[in-house]
Amino acid sequence: MIRVLRSSVGLFALGLTLGVVWATAAMAMEPLPATPPVPKDNPQTKEKVNLGRQLFFDPRLSVTQTVSCNSCHNVMASGTDNRPTSFGVFGKKGGRSAPNVWNAAFLSVQFWDGRAASLEDQAKGPILNPVEMGMPNEAAVVALIDGIPGYREQFQRVFGGKNPVTYDNIAKAIAAYERTLVTPNSPFDQYKKGKKNAMSAQAIRGMKAVEELGCTTCHSGPNFAGPAMKTGEGFYQAFPMFPGSEYEKKYHLTDDKGRYEVTKNKNDMNHWRVPTWRNVALTAPYFHNGSVATLEEAVRVMGKTQLDKNLDDKTVADIVAFLNSLTGQFPAQTMPVLPPTPNTTTLPEAGR
Amino acid sequence: MIRVLRSSVGLFALGLTLGVVWATAAMAMEPLPATPPVPKDNPQTKEKVNLGRQLFFDPRLSVTQTVSCNSCHNVMASGTDNRPTSFGVFGKKGGRSAPNVWNAAFLSVQFWDGRAASLEDQAKGPILNPVEMGMPNEAAVVALIDGIPGYREQFQRVFGGKNPVTYDNIAKAIAAYERTLVTPNSPFDQYKKGKKNAMSAQAIRGMKAVEELGCTTCHSGPNFAGPAMKTGEGFYQAFPMFPGSEYEKKYHLTDDKGRYEVTKNKNDMNHWRVPTWRNVALTAPYFHNGSVATLEEAVRVMGKTQLDKNLDDKTVADIVAFLNSLTGQFPAQTMPVLPPTPNTTTLPEAGR
């Protein structure tokens, strides 16, 4: 686990601890690569991506057959559900705001608290979470998918073997699809690649402001979510860094203990994986509990809680303009067709 | 309202009542036309269809911003949610099974009880239904859509005028999209057009059986939902026609009074719009209350309740094979991109 300290000595020590070169370069703002890292044991293929897209959109993966991955990570929109927290099966509510699935493939750990090392690990969680998709266990999910002829055939083609429908392979297919969810060519990316009129003067002022203020100490790298790290190694930060502000109380920022809930290590209290700035203009409301309705207010909160600064209106507006320049281009997608179960339904409760 | 009587005298009288030619031709099984009727005041345009597709998939049309038209009428699948009854906002459950949106444009009335005269009328219902999408009133829906810049611009281009975002125009756009949801070229359609090997021998036996048994007295026409009628005129039928069967009790078939709930006319008690057979193999569970899990059992129930016949296993299997030959080809679609509200959310509850 990494915490960013406020002194240069701390930063230096951190660099040594990590065993990486911790220099200005590591904090640079970079264009988004065209493709994210791909694990060796789950290579990308077109058929696997198509299968993963179907699974991502298939509400049959929930116990009521009403909630799909896309319900909370809507890839027709921001990649979130733009709610403070999500509704799962039976109208149950989750405790944290749905993270953005767009460009999640560039993150080295998943979930707000980093408890999943990879997209594959992440995909296995919500399906079994009782307040999300609510399936009783892995075996029930596998039996359901294995019972749909169109899926069984596709798993056979994609994964091969005697019993290709496994929980691991379901997660692999979903992760392969998610690795295609990349939004390149934001105005910032175009600017970085030389198109100097891609960003407004205000956005450029905002870009300078986030560097000078120190926001990019954490929001660095191509995904603005921290330096490049190995898959499974997380870049965490205290939020709030400066406790006791009015915002902390107003927005209940410390009710949820964050990474501490995973590790039970006191040093992780109220620590969170640094979230991406990519497409942040589209993902209101903000923070782990979705308590802040606007990006403008989120910038003010961050200024106060992380830098102990009361940002003036102009600076806030400049930073918001810069953050809007990080909205990428969303690739056109074909709508999946979900394989049917002719003459019957996969829903156990139906007709009984 | 039309009820089909069981004697030939009744059918003759009915023909006279309708003022249409009521002959064998009216009950013929026909291929699905390539396009459905289009009302003069809502012509199809590419831009309107694209707008309607966005609205159809937009969960912001529900009060929790979690339920879209597509949630219950899933066009990535059967056009239904394959549930007995649907879940709306806050986990609330509706009382009737979601009808199929595919080929709904060929129906002369909408909803199980025919209470909407057109797709436009229909689209206005679920958005305001408290157990479906739960929006408080039309004005709230209009304000929401009008507040999304990308929608406002599109409504301007599509409908023109000073205030193009109206509840009527929202419904018109959705209806225009729904008129593209047509599934041509089922094996039956191919067979009717001359490709005699498109249907199996079993399916052909089933086709003859439904004619000989009298199923096609009601399930006639290109949509197998009754004879061609003017928009707003419904083709209704008693279900059960023969009361008192074991199925009636087992599947609670008469708890819901159907069209009577609309008209309060005793003659409409337990009457329903005759549903389509198109893609019926994909829309389990069956009937207005979704009480029957399999198509095989649905065929048995219909034989008993509508024809007073105990169909033997072979006949049931033949009919099921025929009904499977009515599964059409689902056109490939581009996934919509929903217009954003940068820096903020349209959800009133967020951050408050």
Please tell me whether residues B62 and B103 are part of one structural domain. yes
Among B63, B82, B318, most A C-beta atoms within 10 A, so best to mutate, is B82
A23 band by pLDDT with thresholds 50, 70 and 90: very low
Catalytic residue, from A30, A47, A120, A132: name it: A132
Select from B82, B92, B349 the Cβ nearest to the Cβ of A345.
B82
Residues 6+ apart with CB under 8 A from A285: A82, A83, A84, A97, A291, A292, A293, A294, B345, B347, B350, B351
Q: What residues contact A52, with CB distance under 8 A and at least 6 apart?
A: A172, A173, A174, A175, A176, A177, A178
What pLDDT is recorded for position A21? 39
Residue B25: predicted pLDDT:
42
- Residue B193 inside a domain? The answer is yes
Q: How far is A211 from chain B (nearest CA, A)?
A: 21
B-chain CB neighbours of A86 within 8 Å are 66
Look at residue A314 and give its three-state secondary structure: helix
Choose among B66, B80, B53, B69: nearest CA to B335.
Answer: B53
Q: Cβ A282–B338 below 8 Å, yes or no?
A: no
Q: Mark whether B171 and B213 lie in a shared domain.
A: no
Residue B193 sits in the same domain as residue B319? yes
User: pLDDT tens-digit profile of A59-97?
Assistant: 999 999 999 999 999 999 999 999 999 999 999 999 999
Cα angle A101-A106-A109, degrees, rounded to a multiple of 5: 80
Judging contacts by C-beta atoms under 8 Å, the chain A residues touching residue B297 are: 351
Find the mean pLDDT for residues A148-153: 98
**DSSP element (H, E) containing B212:** helix B201-213
Minimal-distance CA residue of chain B relative to A330: B337
Joined tokens for residue B334: 């581009």
Question: How many other C-beta atoms lie within 10 A of the C-beta of residue B8?
Answer: 8
**pLDDT tens-digit readout, A257-268:** 999 999 999 999
Report pLDDT digits (tens) over B182-193: 999 999 999 999
Among B120, B132, B178, B297, the one annotated catalytic: B132
| B345/A90 touch (CB, cutoff 8 Å), yes or no | no
Dihedral sign from CA coordinates of A308, A312, A317, A321: negative
Q: How far apart are CA A123 and CA B207, in angstroms?
A: 45
CA angle (B44 as vertex; B40, B48 as ends), nearest 5: 125
Return the pLDDT at B14. 44
> Who among B327, B335, B349 is closest to A335 (CB)?
B335
Last residue of a domain, which of A115, A145, A178? A178
ipTM of the assembly?
0.92
| Residues of chain B where predicted confidence (pLDDT) is lower than 70 | 1-27, 350-352
In a domain, A84, yes or no: yes
Burial class (CB in 10 A: 0-12, 13-18, 19+), A40: exposed
Determine how many CB atoms are found less than 10 A away from the CB of residue A216: 18
C-beta atoms of B343 and A74 within 8 A: no
- The answer to whether residues A315 and A193 belong to one domain is yes
What's the pLDDT at B350? 67
Say yes or no for a CB contact (<8 Å) between B332 and A334.
yes
Residues A230 and A246 in one domain: yes
In a domain, A75, yes or no: yes
Q: Are residues B320 and B191 in the same domain?
A: yes
Q: What is the mean pLDDT of chain A?
A: 92
pLDDT of residue A17: 40
Residue B38 lies in a domain: no
Q: Which residues of A touch B344 (CB under 8 A)?
A: 284, 293-295
Q: Which residues of B touch A299 (CB under 8 A)?
A: none
Quickly state the pLDDT bin for A350 (edges 50, 70, 90).
low
A350 occurs within a structural domain: no
Smallest Cα distance from B68 to chain A, Å:
10
Does residue B36 have a cis peptide bond before it, meaning omega lies within 30 degrees of 0?
A: no
Q: What is the pLDDT of residue A139?
A: 98
* B344 domain-assigned: no
Q: What is the pLDDT of residue B104?
A: 97
Which of B149, B178, B207 lies at the terminal end of a domain, its last residue? B178
Q: Give the closest-approach CA distance of B149 to chain A in angstroms.
A: 13
Mutate to test the interface with B, among A335, A338, A347 (most CBs of B within 10 A): A335
Q: How far is CA A162 from CA A41, A144, A157, B202, in A?
A: 18, 17, 11, 32
Do A135 and A62 lie in one domain? The reply is: yes
- The amino acid sitting at A170 is I
| Among A59, A293, A345, beta carbon nearest to B344 | A293
Does the pLDDT at position A241 exceed 80? yes
Domain CATH for B99: 1.10.760.10
Q: What is the mean pLDDT of residues A285-302?
A: 98
Distance (Å, whole) CA A34 – CA A329: 12
* Whether B76 and A350 lie within 8 Å, measured CB to CB: no
User: What is the reported pLDDT for A352?
Assistant: 44
Which chain B residues are closer than 8 Å to A285 by Cβ? 345, 347, 350-351
| Residue B39 included in any domain | no
Return the residue in B87, B333, B343 with the most chain A beta carbons within 10 A, the one to mutate for interface testing.
B343
| A349 located within any domain | no
Inter-chain touch B284–A350, beta carbons under 8 Å: yes
In this structure, the answer to whether residues B107 and B209 fall within a common structural domain is: no
**How far apart, in whole angstroms, are the C-alpha atoms of residue B327 and residue B25?**
23
Nearest by CB: B294 against A84, A334, A344: A344
Among B153, B178, B203, the domain-final residue is: B178
Q: Looking at the structure, tell me whether residues B174 and B191 fall in a common domain.
A: no
pLDDT at B216: 96
Structurally, chain B folds into a number of domains equal to 2
In tens, the pLDDT along A28-42 reads 788 999 999 999 999
Chain B residue nearest residue A347, CA to CA: B83
Kindly give, in sequence order, each residue whose CB lies less than 8 Å from that of residue A231, ignoring residues fewer than 6 positions away: A37, A39, A108, A109, A117, A118
Interchain pair B341, A284: CB under 8 A: yes
Does A66 contact B75 at a Cβ distance shorter than 8 Å?
A: no
Beta bridge partners of A286: A292
> Are A59 and B65 within 8 A, CB to CB?
no
Contacts of B352 in chain A (CB under 8 A): 293
A27: pLDDT strictly greater than 60: no
Q: Which chain B positions have a beta carbon within 8 Å of A187's beta carbon?
A: none
Same domain, yes or no, for B199 and B313?
yes
Q: Which of B51, B56, B64, B76 to mutate to test the interface with A (most CBs of A within 10 A)?
A: B76
Beta pairing class for B236-238 and A236-238 = unpaired
Give pLDDT, residue B27: 56
Whether A153 is a known active-site residue: answer no
Taking CA atoms, what residue in A is nearest to B336?
A76
Residues B164 and B200 in one domain: no
Residue B348: CB atoms within 10 Å = 12
Domain limits at B54? 46-178
Contact B102, B330 (CB under 8 A): yes
Residues of A in Cβ contact (< 8 Å) with B281: 340, 342-343
Residue A229 and residue A285 in one domain = yes
